[in-house]
Structure 1
Amino acid sequence: MERAEKKNDISVVIGFKDWGVERLLLSVKSILKSFGNLKGEVIVSDYGSEHPGLLQAQIEDLGAIYVYTSTNGTWSRSRALNAGFAVSTGSVLISTDADMLFTPNAIETISNVVLGTARTAVVLQCRDLPQKYDAEGINKFGMDWESFESVSTLRPRWGMGGMMAVRREDFLGIRGFDERMEIYGGEDMDFAYRIQRLGSRIHWIEDRNVRMFHMWHASSRNAAAETAEGKTAIETNREITMNDKSFIRNTRHWEHKPADALPLASIVISTYNRANYLSDSLNSVLAQNASEDIEIIVVDDGSTDNTEEVVSSLNDSRIRYFKREKSGIAAARNFAATVSRSRYTVIHDDDDMMPIDRVESHFKALDGGTAGTYGGWIDFSDETGEIVTVNPGKDASLGALLFSGKVLAHATLMLPTSVIKSVGYDELLRSGSDYNLAIRLARAGIRLKHTGNIHLIRRLHSQQVTTQDSVIQKASARLTTTLAIDSIPLSNQATIRQNVAKLRPVELTVRDDLATYVRRYLPDHLVDRCIRIGKILSAELFLQLSREKPSSCISIKRIDNKLEDYSLYVLGASLEQIRILEANSVDFELVDSPFVPGRSLLEQVMDSEIDHYLTNSEAELCIVRRFEYAVDDELGAESDVLMQVKTGEEQINLVIKVILDSDELFDQISSQNLNALTRAELYVSKSSKFKF
């Protein structure tokens, strides 16, 4: 839902679902009277109430805004608040609950503190009212603020009190409340920790005229904690709050994202006459599991090949292409920083690939005090596809960069865009500006943290700068190193060298062996992949895979003693097919192909399944049904196929019915008018009725 209204000073969001309507109405009324001279809005975010119509009318009659989100029934305070802030227009964003009362002008005072003090978030301590002052009692006795003051109990500061006020840019900077959190527990605390890691301080406001009172009601949190689902959710929330030290969340998917939110990251690729490599590089970025909310900046440094055509062919709105007169890679990267729309820049090269989780891993490792993150890299030969070297990287420091090798590769870095703008690449250096930047960052005290992951699958080929411009690059590195070492007192250099000598490569987290890991990302011409998927895919997803590479998908379903074993094999799987699977969070494994060239794949599958069945069951015979979908001139035709299978000395003739179905999937395939699209499913089961 989007609103095109004028901007407010304040937006207050209340999350709500199905309970305590009278409390909610009282809360909204009190907030609307607390804006003072500031312009404010109250947004009630109804997250899945069963009967929203009546409530909407009541809220809007008060002059507040009503937002409804349909859900699967699970309550999430985090998502409810985010859904409200997604349509907000305020410079100050305030979250609170449906059972809080605010004294007149309280919100005005709170907001003025936020607006008037740089990098400050305001928290207000809650005061609990006794049972007499439930919604019914307050409606009966009225808003008696003096009485509330005298009978209320100050709630201890073990939490965030039920209200938090932040600048809009800070809310957007940490990407709202963590949408993994459900039911209740820890949302405000986690949000406050993340605001602090962003660089803001938490200010508990102390003002006799600024009060927030909690209306009495039976504890909803206690009720939630009594259910198994509630206990699990509360424990999960606690785990996130206490152990996740990152501060930028919702990286894969921010369900309720405000329209003015910046992209999660700008992936910057500067390129010159690398059209033959660029599509692999770009596709690896587009395949990121955090690719939904990124921008890709391609700076073409005066290419004379078909670079622009390659970029245009991808037809993706996330790619922003800039062609400039040739000025060098340093100038191209500096230019990218000036057009970036994100707070963070991920540096990537035009001839390399990044693993699917690279962008996400940058943000998982980004904690308070860390400016940027980087990872390891693997070099492979563009001629053979073989791994040449595995480079885990080392903990980065000025000493490590000067006196040790293979600390970091520049194209594994993510940095704040503001840092690149302020420090910048040295455009006087024809080559080696990346190493020069790393040294200057270290000298400036910019802290970089290793993520523990591989960030780059680096292609070794004859057109690399390292190969074509190695003399200039090495001379540039020597000059940068000499100048940096000369700035270190001689008395300190020996100690630094001794400490650096103790550095060991970072221990990497890789779920597969490295050879298998690299096979996922190698260019298609260098590897023959066979993928096995152990689940049934949706018709739409199957079509995506098959459309990318027709006749590559063979699916098998076994039924042995009522136990089903399903496999989908993707033969000769392309990078695009891997991208499709990973973008849809489908687990798969790279396996050796169970099929041999030179024979019909369907025949091989049927042979292997019949053999499997007769080998692994006590039955003397079996029935195999094959469903084959093919777009050709004989749609709907039926035929019998005679196959012979031997068991021991006896030969069994099996009649196998080939049926061209007309179900939903078949209709979709037909409507696409795809040629040579084949799908086979084999069902193997026992049957006493079979005669031969």
Structure 2
Amino acid sequence: MKVEVLLSTYNGERYLNELLESISDQKFNGDIELLIRDDGSSDKTFQIVDSWKNKLNIKFIKGKNLGPRDSFGELIKHANLDFDYFAFCDQDDVWFDNKLDFAIKKIRGMNRTLYFSNVQLVDSDLNPLGSNRDRIRPVLSLEGVITANPALGCTMVMDRELMRELKQVKLTPFFMHDVAAIMLAASTGHIKYELQPSMMYRQHIESVTQGHDFWKNIKNKVDFWFFQPNISISKEVDEILTNFEENINDDHTKDVLIQVKNYRQGINRFKLAVNKKFRVNSTASNRSFILRVILGVA
């Protein structure tokens, strides 16, 4: 059994050793290859990666700065389909030692299946913040996934067939690698979730501070909704319908995708906005989805 871990690095010298040590410590009865693409680092990231080549099986790609979306897009292009399973990883993660083993046991024998998990929230120095990201299980229906992506990409593990599909998806500023992966799994396969955390997830002071700035959050959301190019859930589902229709789970799934694809036509946006199946456990996420649909910017 072989797993390929996809990691994009960028000036990661502060945290990278802790991540690589946690991958090296995995209690996993199989082979792990770490596929790393560096996104134009100017610090000691390369030297740190090189120092781990005696302990980890590392394949390294040195690239120019593309940003997270396109860097992970390049990693997906280079993912080796000779492997059985694939995992995404961020450079400031710290994995628990059973992360891979537990995930693969949950999806072994299944086809087109995505696993993701909860995370333990910690500060930049790995001090626990006293809570996990999810307090209850997220909504995993296709409608729920469309309303608000419940998954952190850094916890995702998937099988070969789902990665094969993911390789065919055109990523956009909104259709990130993790969003595309869970949308595919919800449409053509299966999703497995674990409420127990699989890793420590750093909350850097910048993101914590920004999270409490109400008006800055509002401005960022308005800018994101109205001024980002290619942001369109309807285009995302159209791509799935166009490229993977033969793999779609059932008629209900197809109907949901068609409804979202055509939501801007006539009164369809209001029908979608009031459809209570498009609801998750977060009031803020529900309100955001409804508003974006009514305004036609979802």
TM-score tier by shorter-chain length is 0.5 to 0.7
Read off the aligned partner of 1:397 and give its amino acid letter.
Answer: S
2:45 aligned to 277, 282, 307, which one? 307
Read off the aligned partner of 2:36 and give its amino acid letter.
Answer: V
Q: Does residue 155 of structure 2 align to residue 374 of structure 1? A: no
Q: State the structure with bigger RCO (CA 8 A, min sep 6), 1 or 2.
A: 2
Alpha carbons 2:69, 2:176 under 8 Å: kept: yes
Q: Does residue 277 of structure 2 align to residue 496 of structure 1? A: yes
Aligned-pair CA distance for 1:275: 1.5
Q: 1:297 to 1:462 in 2, by over 3 A?
A: farther
2:147 aligned to 399, 403, 425, which one? 403
Q: Does residue 86 of structure 2 align to residue 345 of structure 1? A: yes
Distance between the aligned counterparts of 2:79 and 2:182, measured in 1?
A: 25
Matched residues, number: 235
Counterparts of 1:153-192 in structure 2, within 5 Å, are: none
Alpha carbons 2:123, 2:204 under 8 Å: kept: yes
**Alignment-derived partner of residue 527 in structure 1:** none
Read off the aligned partner of 2:231 and give its amino acid letter.
Answer: L
Read off the aligned partner of 1:390 and give its amino acid letter.
Answer: N
Distance between the aligned counterparts of 1:501 and 1:427, measured in 2?
A: 27
- Whichever structure has more helix as a proportion of its residues is 2
Read off the aligned partner of 2:21 and give its amino acid letter.
Answer: N
2:60 aligned to 317, 321, 324, which one? 321
Distance between the aligned counterparts of 2:55 and 2:31, measured in 1?
A: 13
Counterparts of 1:605-620 in structure 2, within 5 Å, are: none
Read off the aligned partner of 2:62 and give its amino acid letter.
Answer: K
**Alignment-derived partner of residue 2 in structure 2:** 264
Alpha carbons 1:432, 1:474 under 8 Å: kept: no
Counterparts of 1:18-37 in structure 2, within 5 Å, are: none
Distance between the aligned counterparts of 1:423 and 1:323, measured in 2?
A: 22
**Alignment-derived partner of residue 479 in structure 1:** 231
Per-residue Cα deviation, 1:268-290 (whole angstroms, up to 9, x for no partner): 11111111111111111111100
Distance between the aligned counterparts of 1:383 and 1:451, measured in 2?
A: 25
Q: CA RMSD in A?
A: 3.6
Counterparts of 1:32-181 in structure 2, within 5 Å, are: none
Q: Does residue 87 of structure 2 align to residue 360 of structure 1? A: no
Distance between the aligned counterparts of 1:445 and 1:305, measured in 2?
A: 41
**Alignment-derived partner of residue 688 in structure 1:** none
Alpha carbons 1:436, 1:480 under 8 Å: kept: no
**Alignment-derived partner of residue 391 in structure 1:** 133
Alpha carbons 2:111, 2:159 under 8 Å: kept: no
Per-residue Cα deviation, 1:17-42 (whole angstroms, up to 9, x for no partner): xxxxxxxxxxxxxxxxxxxxxxxxxx
Read off the aligned partner of 1:266 and give its amino acid letter.
Answer: E
Aligned-pair CA distance for 1:454: 1.6
Distance between the aligned counterparts of 1:384 and 1:364, measured in 2?
A: 27
Structure 2 alignment gaps of length 5 or more: 211-216, 238-258, 283-298
Aligned-pair CA distance for 1:291: 6.3
Q: TM-score, normalised by structure 2?
A: 0.65
Aligned-pair CA distance for 1:460: 1.5
1:433 aligned to 176, 187, 191, which one? 176
Distance between the aligned counterparts of 1:303 and 1:418, measured in 2?
A: 32
Q: 1:497 to 1:292 in 2, by over 3 A?
A: closer
Aligned-pair CA distance for 1:403: 3.1
Per-residue Cα deviation, 1:89-133 (whole angstroms, up to 9, x for no partner): xxxxxxxxxxxxxxxxxxxxxxxxxxxxxxxxxxxxxxxxxxxxx
**Alignment-derived partner of residue 456 in structure 1:** 199
Distance between the aligned counterparts of 1:388 and 1:345, measured in 2?
A: 30
Alpha carbons 1:395, 1:449 under 8 Å: kept: no
Alpha carbons 2:151, 2:178 under 8 Å: kept: no
Per-residue Cα deviation, 1:165-211 (whole angstroms, up to 9, x for no partner): xxxxxxxxxxxxxxxxxxxxxxxxxxxxxxxxxxxxxxxxxxxxxxx
Q: 1:477 to 1:458 in 2, by over 3 A?
A: farther
Distance between the aligned counterparts of 1:343 and 1:313, measured in 2?
A: 27
Read off the aligned partner of 2:100 and give its amino acid letter.
Answer: V
Per-residue Cα deviation, 1:572-611 (whole angstroms, up to 9, x for no partner): xxxxxxxxxxxxxxxxxxxxxxxxxxxxxxxxxxxxxxxx
SS at match of 2:158: strand
Q: Does residue 7 of structure 2 align to residue 278 of structure 1? A: no
Larger radius of gyration: 1
Distance between the aligned counterparts of 1:272 and 1:496, measured in 2?
A: 39
Per-residue Cα deviation, 1:374-433 (whole angstroms, up to 9, x for no partner): 11112211157131641235242322123357x22111111234433433464442x761
SS at match of 1:276: coil
1:330 aligned to 45, 48, 69, which one? 69
Q: TM-score, normalised by structure 1?
A: 0.30
Aligned-pair CA distance for 1:451: 3.6
- The percent of aligned pairs where both chains have the same amino acid is 18
Alpha carbons 1:296, 1:319 under 8 Å: kept: yes
2:187 aligned to 410, 434, 444, which one? 444
SS at match of 1:360: helix
Aligned-pair CA distance for 1:323: 1.0
SS at match of 2:41: coil
Alpha carbons 1:298, 1:319 under 8 Å: kept: yes
Read off the aligned partner of 2:124 and give its amino acid letter.
Answer: D
**Alignment-derived partner of residue 552 in structure 1:** none
Q: 1:439 to 1:487 in 2, by over 3 A?
A: farther
